[in-house]
Amino acid sequence: MKILILNGPNLQALGRREVGIYGSKSWDDIALELSSYAATLGVDLVYSQSNYEGALIDRIWQAAEEDISGIVINPGGLTHTSVALLDALRGAEIPAVEVHLSNIFNRESYRHESVTAPGCIGVIAGFREVGYRMALAGLVSYLNVEKDREN
């Protein structure tokens, strides 16, 4: 099973950007821990990050052409604005889980709505880097249940 970890704008700056909100771990540190965790689940991870909406959309559609079983996506600030990203998530028909390091409902009011969440099977928010592990565990569990239903 192969899972795409897709990060949106500004997430390359983790560990040095608003540490009080997003934590002090760099993305490289988080990815290393996530890869170790993925190995215990028996899944392979593919990582991608872009600060550009179109590149994220292209990557979702590319995943639909690859052997990608699911997506863990942190759309960053595009969470609250990108109907185009929602359309790609829906159109690609790959189960996805949205993850946020911060609790978007405990922040500025404009962050309380996720435009992209309706294109996902679930949302994890507020657990900093642990949220990626939670999203991955939930997605893999979901995919395994779906596979059992097909058999």
Residue 22's pLDDT band, with cuts at 50, 70 and 90, is: confident
Residue 19 has pLDDT above 90, yes or no: no
Q: Average pLDDT for residues 13-24, to the nearest whole number?
A: 88
Tally of CB atoms within 10 A around 133: 20
pLDDT recorded at residue 112: 66
Catalytic residue among 37, 52, 100, 142: 100
Q: Average pLDDT for residues 2-17, to the nearest whole number?
A: 95
Annotation says 80 is catalytic: no
Q: Average pLDDT for residues 49-76, to the nearest whole number?
A: 97
**Helical H runs in 42-129?**
53-65, 83-92
Catalytic residue among 22, 47, 80, 142: 22
Q: Average pLDDT for residues 81-85, to the nearest whole number?
A: 96
The C-alpha torsion from 53 through 82 and 49 to 94, rounded to 10°, is: -110
One-letter amino acid of 145: V
The string of pLDDT tens digits covering residues 94-112 is 999 999 998 888 877 777 6
pLDDT recorded at residue 107: 78
Q: Domains of the chain, with CATH numbers? A: 2-150 (3.40.50.9100)
The chain-wide mean pLDDT, for the chain, equals 94
pTM of the model: 0.94
Q: Average pLDDT for residues 135-140, to the nearest whole number?
A: 98
Residue 124 has pLDDT above 90, yes or no: yes
Is the model more confident about 20 or about 70? 70
The string of pLDDT tens digits covering residues 26-54 is 999 999 999 999 999 999 999 999 999 99
Sheet holding 70-74, edge to edge: 44-49, 2-7, 70-74, 96-100, 122-125
